[in-house]
Structure 1
Amino acid sequence: MEVIGMTTKKTSGKSASTKAAKPRKRVSRKKKDIQNLVIVESPSKAKTIEKYLGEGYKVVSSKGHICDLGLSGKERMGIDIENNFTPKYKVPKEKQEIVDELKALNDRSEHVILASDPDREGEAIAWHLARELGLDMNDENRVTFHEITKPVVTESITHPHKIDMNLVQSQETRRMLDRIIGFKLSRLLRKKISSKSAGRVQSVALHLIVLREYEIRKFVSEEYWTIEADVKKGRSVFQAALSKYQGSKPKLKNEEETNQLLDSFKGKPFVVSSISKRKSKKAPKLPFTTSTLQQEASKKLGYGAKKTMSVAQKLYEGVNVAGSMTGLISYMRTDSTRLSPLFVNDAEAYIDKTFGSEFKGVAHEKNKANAQDAHEACRVTNIEYTPEYVKPYLSSEEFRLYSLIYARTLASLMADAVYDVTSV
């Protein structure tokens, strides 16, 4: 027992003696048996990442958001509008058990790493985790994985940074707009026109449709006619449009004028004034962004946006390929067409080896001025993993979407298509 003080006390009939003062109560602390606790969003991704990181890391999942705006206050929006739009966050009942488990693990951990998805929702999740676990907001404990492959995961874990509060505030603003517009406007619309709901996205979409309708109604249609002839040369038959008549291009405004011109052709030969041949090049399409991936999946596979992103999420988080969990595509929420130089080098070597050097192109990118460019385009993580190779490990939907992404990734790095164009 630790002696923290000495005192004397006279006792009747006995000599003075020393007595130890009552020791202060010690605070019981749990043993720190976890070196690094990594918190991600998805349970399936957690298993893959823990395998890549190995000893010294325990990877667990928050299963998405752990906090949301409560349903308290004026109009139950969870926002104090009069007090500078202050949000009132609450841990939902269904998430309380997860939060309690994470707090218990935090008590046992020397270091906590927040590795939610690399977008503004993921940044907000990291912030909420830091708040609930009592972490220092100035700590560099945030990491992002733009693809779930061993080289990228092990490299990213060595470059932690602070939580990006700009992204957090962006997500917070969007969530509050959801509540303000959704709760206030939906109530009005239900009352006035029996509409089910309105929201941040539907309202803007309706505005764009109305603007387009105004343009349609302002359009003044003008009638015009064209003349085409079916021409035969030997066994070949092709269609030719009337280019010039008596040295100028005719403007045909109605059927009467068109028929008069046709009548004037009778008995007159068609003349080929020139034949020219040239080469025409067509550059490959850029790699996928979120919007172009959704458009192509809708057009070629018949997938809606929600289904496309759900299947892509599985490909990103990891699939068991030949006994090893592997992320097959990079992060699918992006507005950038940039590709990493390391991937480009690997892909160019693959094209050279598989198709020949004449088919090797260059990486193109065309990012808009307001593109965030936080990470790359949506691409496959390993160009050697052809659709045929991974097909046995994928569902039908996963295979079809992976094939689409693989083809677009590969094509974006190949040489321009060359066409023979003959003009008659």
Structure 2
Amino acid sequence: MIDIGTSKSDLGFLSESFEVVTCVDLSQMDTQIAQFNLSVGVVRLSHSSDEQLFSYLQASLLVNPRFRWILTVPARYENMSKVLQMEPSVCWDYFHDPVPKDTFVNTIGHAVGLTSPYPYECSARVTREIKQNQMVKGTSKSLLILEREIKTYAFSDCPVLIRGETGTGKSRCAELIHATSNRRLEPFITVNCGAIPESLIHSELFGHEKGSFTGAASRHVGHFERANKGTLFLDEIGDLSLPMQVHLLQFLETKQLMRVGGSQWINVDCRLILATHVNLEEAVVEGNFREDLYYRINVLTMDLPAYRKLECDRVVLADNLLSELSDENKALSPASLKMIESYDWPGNVRELKNRLERACVVSESPLIEPIDMGFCVKGGIKTGSSKRSPVSGQELLATLEHSNNNISAAARKLNVSRTTMYKLMKKYLH
């Protein structure tokens, strides 16, 4: 994290929990953030703080959207209304002096956890050849259709629209299409359209030129250009605003884009895969999605089944997923298999993965039992209730280590809230 304008005496308790870099003024900010790959900044406001500071905080997110700012405010601060009017994407939280140390540290930890993994982070990675067991496998009609569609659509450059409930594996299918295609050695870029603030999404997708707005100190290449020759996966396309839908439609029709502040059209060769859990036909009727864009992307479609509807394939998918997650020779017990077949799985495959990840961490036996997956037993009936056996200190430490000390990831694996995680950490680690 980075700290602006606080004295060294104030940094003691922060340095115990975080890597802290101090800046005396704004001129050092961009260099320090880039050099140390920082994700959270603390700014000590004073009665002399001016509009330049507030403008900088606002503009900095256009250059580094994942950054989180936390402010400390002096007593009887004259510009308190300015702080309250700041968008949550700019001011993550604020505290009045003197700051409560425990709460302050927890808030910073929460902000750090939310910036890693980056909610709309993209990765231009070379995708490995698909092994046979990485393809969607099953005996149900819906999965057989899905497997055939992946193999067929992979060798077309037409847009693919993937539809399905949250957690059904839309991003996994997009990766499989890319990894099967002729573009598999080129970048695969993932963007969650619902995670990017409206004020930033144009610049994030299409890029911007140096000096195009306050804080644009250098040229920024957008996700479309980064995906050149490869595949761009736009998740939650139904969350795009109507103005951004116009830009997307223009790109689909011309394969050209113009950066914010630019004057030249840029040719980009990327294959688009789009996903949504929203019924786009209803969104068109309601005026929330452009009809012309809908027909432009509704070319090759895939409908992913909910996990609860794959009765004959639930166990097969769970076994395959477990073999991917565990380096050890772990297996599901008969009781766990029954639970998988009987539970309703509102979170679909994503919930299954999270529960299996948790089980791989906490289970000390080769056989994974329902309790290892976070299920509890009431009167002999196993349920998916969030009420579970208490987390032990050993279990907490093991999960944090397995999650690389990422609090958000550890909370998901333990099936507890972040608030509960902080209470457990305070109980066992302090």
The verdict on a shared fold, with TM-score over 0.5 as the criterion, is no
TM-score normalised by L of structure 2:
0.24
TM-score normalised by L of structure 1:
0.25
| Structure with the higher fraction of residues in helix conformation | 2
